[in-house]
Amino acid sequence: MPELAEVEVVRRNLVRWWLDSSATDVRILDERVLSDTTPSAIEAALRQDVKELSRRGKYLFAHLADDTVIVFHFRMTGKLVLAGVPEPKYARLSWLVDKSGWIVFKDQRCLGEVRLLGKEEFKEYEPLQKMGPEPEDITVEDLNSTCSKRRMLKSALLDQSVVAGVGNIAISELFWRVKLAPKVRCGELSDEDWESLVQEMPLYFDEVIEKSMGDEIFYQNEAGMENIFRVYGHAGESCPRCGGEIEKMKVAGRVSYYCGSCQG
């Protein structure tokens, strides 16, 4: 599933491919990708110039010349890629930008969505209204005010109303960086733990963005994907910090990877 870093990589790619340009051809290949939006409305929107591309948490926004906004949410397997043809495998929606080629919304499981919002609708868009601060903006005070002491920290960080864009992979990696046990509860963290977590979040995402930059984002379960993470997906291997064994367990309904020797 894409997290903040992967969506930011797509945003930066779209700035190169699409900004200040419009589609000259549109192919709606699977209407299931359109959420509460008609095919004709999406086609008309894509034929406008894009004035800005922004991101909030795991959501991507294309701001158009008439002040409407196209919202992209990738869910589990969605992504936007540049292609030489309009219908590569898993293509759901494609549009041709003359300066770049075909921009394609690919989604193997077809759980992602594309929707068009008016200017006022965008201001009131519920996921944005409920979303917490970005990792670069979060403070210890923010976390302490939204994380009850009895709540598992992992569960709290997966809650997008607490902090935006953090997902399961990031949590395993962040817990390893600050040496937190996978089942730690919010009330068990020291002041130093909270400070370390807040400091590491933006550093972690900056690092993953840098390592992930390319014309296509790849998810951890895709064939041939290089594992760029320190502990996630490395069960049974040696910890890069202490040499202990990387283990995994299910926490808050999702698999966590951790070092049994140096975490907690």
Kindly name the residue from 3, 8, 113, 173 that is annotated as catalytic.
Answer: 3
Kindly name the residue from 55, 58, 92, 106 that is annotated as catalytic.
Answer: 58
Q: Which stretches in the chain have pLDDT values below 70?
A: 220-224
Q: Which of 60, 77, 81 is nearest to 69 (CA)?
A: 60
d(CA 71, CA 114) in angstroms, rounded, equals 6
What would the DSSP string read from start to end of 121-180?
Answer: HHHT-HHHHH----TTT--HHHHHHHS-TTSBHHHHHH-TTTSSS--HHHHHHHHHHTT-
Q: Is 58 a catalytic residue?
A: yes
CATH level 3 topology of 4-130: N-terminal domain of MutM-like DNA repair proteins (3.20.190)
Position 47 scores a pLDDT of 98
Q: Where are the domains of the chain?
A: 4-130, 140-259
Position 216 scores a pLDDT of 86
Which residues are paired to 28 by β-bridges?
A: 93
Give the pLDDT confidence of 144-173 residue by residue, as tens digits.
999 999 999 999 999 999 999 999 999 999
Kindly name the residue from 27, 75, 248, 254 that is annotated as catalytic.
Answer: 254
Instruction: State the Rg of the chain over Cα.
Output: 20
d(CA 159, CA 262) in angstroms, rounded, equals 26
User: Quick check: helix, strand or coil at residue 245?
Assistant: strand
Amino acid at 174: L
d(CA 255, CA 52) in angstroms, rounded, equals 36
Q: Is 3 a catalytic residue?
A: yes
- Specify the CATH class of 140-259 in words: mainly alpha
What would the DSSP string read from start to end of 24-60?
Answer: SEEEE--GGGBSS--HHHHHHHHTSPEEEEEEETTEE
Q: Is 55 a catalytic residue?
A: no
Position 221 scores a pLDDT of 67
Position 225 scores a pLDDT of 73
Amino acid at 162: V
Position 224 scores a pLDDT of 63
d(CA 157, CA 111) in angstroms, rounded, equals 23
